[in-house]
A and B are shown apart, each in its own frame.
Chain A
């Protein structure tokens, strides 16, 4: 069995675990509560008939008469019990397991206590009354099925008390007076023993059941997780499908056209076609590469060679690498405000990949002409004004100085509620899936993996307001001090 500490479960997964137990109890209550309600109602009718009957035949030989005030008390309590069963049934159908089982158990306890007392004390302890003892373990069984272990134990103690009280204090019928007097302790011992047997059995049953339900819950959670991943993958395939079919058709088409028309075409056109085909080919290769990169990352962490890297130089190199297909940076103002001597400790190639990705995102998702700003400063994490907004679980708590690099654009921005999804694999924002902007939902996922592998953090801040854009933050360690 997979051990899943509660802390690691998401709210929906915890709901899955709870729902199994709750559903089980709800189903049980939906049957037990109305059934007992009807039984109690029949008892009430019986009591009423008895009262009417005994009023008409006041002088006949009913062994010990039920005093009317006792009968009325009993009827009142029975009415309350019926009401409780009603509440319990309604709660069970509305899905409130806690209320349903609690009211049902209270009703059972009240009924057994009051009816038992009325019966035993007015009729006296006769063979009939002793036979009535079987209802006591029955109450334990019902309560044990419905409620928690603690409640079951408390109810058992209460019912033990009832047993002792009835046996010792109820008036005894002549016929069994001597037997009961002699064997009272034996009767009590025997009854209490049986009651505890039932309790222990029920607790064992509940524990086994809980364990089984937990296993079922594990399966459901695993299934849900697999289903979610599957959905994300489906979406990725849909998106890649679109991304891939166009360039593949263009690439294949150029080759076919050249083969068909090679002799008829003037040389410049052939060259132009080949140029375009090769650019389209680059796009296919880039797409495939990022898909394959993702697959490799899953298998083993990327191998890094950490070194001291000049931030400014690395940023400038990254800016040169931006795919011209994705927008021409020449048309953009790129403000780079990075101190010349600033150094960070990272893998040069991976950092360039991250930076290129962030810059090309900034280009892709902001209107032509909108400036892009890259800034970098050295700081200790405590000065960081945005400590609350750090993405994910990899918060940097150490006091070591870091370099914080920000990439700010003035584009569409990102809706705040979608920010947590942004760095996940295959994830593209809903608005981008239908848009012409090229993307495969892998770029930021790779960025996060690379930055985290270099012991850094990456996050984004955006209000989701078009024109205000978004700011991506990358925080990487500074080179270790030589000593």
Chain B
């Protein structure tokens, strides 16, 4: 797309009050991208529409719209389908990993992440060609057809656990 632009814009979405300023500080020092921030998924979509960033770093657990929903929203729209997306989250379980990848992120990183690793992931995601990303997404979609029941089963079990946890409170 417009990757020929001199300084790519980076959208960082995280609801944590100490991590978001750090990410801004760190990325502004380690890279020369323009950085835009948002505090939740809805704000993120607004910021995305406004700035059309070349890459998005998104948290999973956020109020309003969570990370997976945000990613699905971008991947579901042909005009935003090819955005490089990195998920940066505290959720490290296999189920969360699966959900993140199933939503279609390029990289799934579990906090804490070393600054170099995050920068490397951003560069890698930016370097990924549209064709390659599309191929990956197709692969995911085909895999999902086979594993469709698995995914829905996992989704249901996750939901079930959540409601159960809610009742116990």
Chain A residues proximal to chain B, CB less than 8 Å? 231, 235, 241-242, 245-250, 252-254, 256-257, 260-261, 264-265, 269, 272-273, 276, 279-280, 283, 325, 418, 421, 427-430, 433-436, 438
Provide 5 A-B residue pairs closer than 8 Å at the C-beta atoms, listed in order of the A residue. Answer: A245-B112, A250-B19, A254-B22, A325-B18, A436-B39
CB contact between A436 and one of B17, B90, B92, B110 (< 8 Å): that residue? B17
Chain B residue nearest to A242 (CB atoms) is: B90
**Min distance, Cβ B22 to any Cβ of chain A, angstroms:** 4
CA distance A245 to B17 in the complex (A): 13
Interface string of B95-122 (1 = CB under 8 A from A): 0000000000000001111111000000
CB contact between A242 and one of B29, B39, B61 (< 8 Å): that residue? B61
Interface centre among B14, B19, B40 (most CB of A within 10 A): B19
CB contact between B29 and one of A265, A418, A427, A435 (< 8 Å): that residue? A265
Chain B residue nearest to A265 (CB atoms) is: B29
**Min distance, Cβ B144 to any Cβ of chain A, angstroms:** 26
- The reply on B21 being an interface residue by CB < 8 A is yes
**Min distance, Cβ A460 to any Cβ of chain B, angstroms:** 15
Q: B residues within 8 A CB of A231?
A: 168
Contact A250 B30 (CB under 8 A): no
Chain A residue nearest to B118 (CB atoms) is: A253
Contact B30 A246 (CB under 8 A): no
Contact A430 B165 (CB under 8 A): yes
Q: Which 9 A-B pairs have the closest CB atoms?
A: A249-B112, A250-B22, A245-B90, A245-B111, A436-B15, A246-B16, A246-B19, A430-B166, A249-B111
Q: B residues within 8 A CB of A246?
A: 14, 16, 18-19, 90, 111
- The reply on B143 being an interface residue by CB < 8 A is no
**Min distance, Cβ A474 to any Cβ of chain B, angstroms:** 23
CA distance A466 to B63 in the complex (A): 17
CA distance A427 to B168 in the complex (A): 10
For the complex with contacts A246-B111, A250-B18, A257-B25, 14 further pairs of A-B residues with Cβ separation under 8 Å are: A241-B92, A246-B16, A246-B19, A249-B111, A253-B112, A265-B29, A276-B21, A279-B18, A418-B169, A427-B169, A430-B165, A433-B165, A436-B39, A438-B17
CA distance A279 to B18 in the complex (A): 9
| Given A246-B18, A436-B17, CB of A253 within 8 Å of CB of B26 | yes
Q: A residues within 8 A CB of B63?
A: 434-436
Q: B residues within 8 A CB of A253?
A: 22, 26, 112, 114-115
**Min distance, Cβ A315 to any Cβ of chain B, angstroms:** 26
Contact A325 B29 (CB under 8 A): no
CA distance A427 to B62 in the complex (A): 20
Pair count A-B, CB < 8 A = 88
Q: A residues within 8 A CB of B17?
A: 325, 436, 438
Chain A residue nearest to B89 (CB atoms) is: A245
Q: How many residues of B contact A (CB 8 A)?
A: 31
CA distance A261 to B114 in the complex (A): 14
Main secondary structure of the interface of A (DSSP, over half): helix
Interface centre among A246, A421, A435 (most CB of B within 10 A): A246
Main secondary structure of the interface of B (DSSP, over half): loop
Q: A residues within 8 A CB of B15?
A: 436
Interface string of B138-169 (1 = CB under 8 A from A): 00000000000000000000000000011011
**Min distance, Cβ A178 to any Cβ of chain B, angstroms:** 78
CA distance A253 to B20 in the complex (A): 12
CA distance A280 to B110 in the complex (A): 19
CB contact between A257 and one of B29, B39, B165, B168 (< 8 Å): that residue? B29
Q: A residues within 8 A CB of B29?
A: 257, 261, 264-265, 269
**Min distance, Cβ B8 to any Cβ of chain A, angstroms:** 20
- Per the 8 Å Cβ criterion, residues 53-83 of B in contact with A are 61-63
Interface string of B1-41 (1 = CB under 8 A from A): 00000000000001111110110011001100000000110
Contact A436 B16 (CB under 8 A): yes
Chain A residue nearest to B14 (CB atoms) is: A246
CA distance A241 to B111 in the complex (A): 10
Chain B residue nearest to A256 (CB atoms) is: B115
| Given A257-B30, A418-B169, CB of A283 within 8 Å of CB of B18 | yes
Chain B residue nearest to A282 (CB atoms) is: B18
Interface centre among B16, B21, B110, B169 (most CB of A within 10 A): B169
CA distance A427 to B166 in the complex (A): 11
Q: B residues within 8 A CB of A430?
A: 165-166, 169
Q: A residues within 8 A CB of B111?
A: 245-246, 248-249
Chain B residue nearest to A259 (CB atoms) is: B115
Q: B residues within 8 A CB of A276?
A: 18, 21-22, 25
Q: B residues within 8 A CB of A283?
A: 18
CA distance A264 to B30 in the complex (A): 11
Q: B residues within 8 A CB of A257?
A: 25-26, 29-30, 115
Contact A252 B112 (CB under 8 A): yes
**Min distance, Cβ A10 to any Cβ of chain B, angstroms:** 14
Contact B61 A434 (CB under 8 A): yes
**Min distance, Cβ B120 to any Cβ of chain A, angstroms:** 13
**Min distance, Cβ B24 to any Cβ of chain A, angstroms:** 10
CA distance A246 to B110 in the complex (A): 10
Chain A residue nearest to B62 (CB atoms) is: A436
Chain A residue nearest to B88 (CB atoms) is: A249
**Min distance, Cβ B92 to any Cβ of chain A, angstroms:** 8
CA distance A235 to B162 in the complex (A): 11
| Given A252-B112, A261-B29, CB of A235 within 8 Å of CB of B165 | yes
Q: A residues within 8 A CB of B116?
A: 256, 260
